[in-house]
Amino acid sequence: EPARKGPFGLRSYGRVWRVLDRNHDGVGDSKYVVLKDLPNGRHNTNGMAFGPDGLLYVTNGSSTDDGIEGGDREVVPWSGSVVRVNPKARGVSITDLPRRRTLVATGWRNVYDLAFSPVAEDLLFVPMNGTDDARKGSTADNPVDPNLEDSDDLLFATRVGDRRADDFGFPSCLYNVAEKGGLRPYDNPNPDVIKRFGRCPKRVPRPVSSFGLHTSSDGLAFQTTGAWGNEYRNDLFVAEWGNLFGSPAGHDLVRVQLDKSGRRVVSQSVFLNLDFPLDVTFDRSGAMFVADFTGQIFKVDRLL
């Protein structure tokens, strides 16, 4: 929604609406706000999913690009977070809810979607887009590597039933696999970020995989049926919208294969090349539907 005065000042806020179709004709008859006052800015309140507990889980993006630049001030812990709410709630403010039960995880940047594992039902997978331009700068004790200006788009996993809200470290922690090797975090190169938020902790929950720079990893969904054979059952598919500038990246639908526990990534590969895939879902029969930013929807119901 447009900038307005709210519990965190004059800024952008997100809301979750519920739309009712009482006569089942495919047209909404009425609507009301379920959850409001989610602080965002550069990034928005996006994907939602119902959890195994029946609660509604919602992604809420960070306010800025790198923690300081490019948007309203970050509001810890609600900026760059996943929260949960009773779907029957009406007009509830995030400030009215108990933090311990509401906050699922935080310390993320642009989180677009979320999907629960079909193997470990309390495990939630969340893709995150990394920084576009973490500002150059240095301090006497922390020289900055100019090659670490941008950071990777990542895949995270967090448990929702352990009564603990993981903090994944943004904006203090960034990742660039090509430069650092592995999924090792490093300090945000903007010294103002470190001054305000502190250094990246030595022990921080790490992502389970990287998609590389500027792939714009957005919607995701699991193939939970045997429609394509057992080889694809419980695989995760991620839509990469891609970039518009610099070297080509993204513009793919990526297949992520997990181990039998459903917790560790064993491989990932390009499944489809598209223009600007934004979201993906499966119907009950196992057919895949991919929404492309060009206005097209593609269906994949079998593999040749």
Strand partners of residue 212:
153
Contact between 105 and 123 under an 8 Å Cβ cutoff? The reply is no
Identify the weakest region by mean pLDDT among 42-51, 88-97, 99-108, 240-249.
Answer: 240-249
Whether the predicted pLDDT of 47 surpasses 70: yes
The answer to whether the CB of 288 falls within 8 A of the CB of 282 is yes
Give the pLDDT of residue 139: 57
Mean pLDDT (the chain, rounded): 92
* Distance of alpha carbon 96 from the chain centroid: 24
- The mean pLDDT value for 248-265 works out to 93
Q: Span 240-261, mean pLDDT?
A: 88
State pLDDT tens for residues 83-124.
Answer: 999 999 999 999 999 999 999 999 999 999 999 999 998 999
Read off the DSSP letter of residue 193. Answer: H
pLDDT band at residue 187 under the 50/70/90 scheme? very high
pLDDT at 138: 59
Distance CA 53, CA 182 (A): 34
Q: Please provide the DSSP assignment of 198-219 as one string.
A: -PPPSS-PPPSEEEEET--EEE
pLDDT tops 90 at residue 157: yes
In angstroms, the CA 90 to CA 66 distance is 33
Rounded CA separation 265/300 (Å): 24
Give the integer Cα–Cα distance in Å for 102 and 140: 40
Q: Tell me how far CA of residue 75 lies from CA of 60, 218, 302, in angstroms.
A: 11, 23, 45
% of the chain exceeding 90 in pLDDT: 82
pLDDT digits (tens, 9 = 90+) for 197-226: 999 999 999 999 999 999 999 999 999 999
Contact 67, 55 (CB under 8 A): no
Using alpha carbons only, what angle is made at residue 269 by residues 265 and 275, rounded to the nearest 5 degrees? Answer: 130
The confidence score (pLDDT) of residue 133 equals 79
Q: What percent of the chain has pLDDT over 70?
A: 94
Q: Considering only 53-67, 244-258, 262-276, which range has the smallest mean pLDDT?
A: 244-258
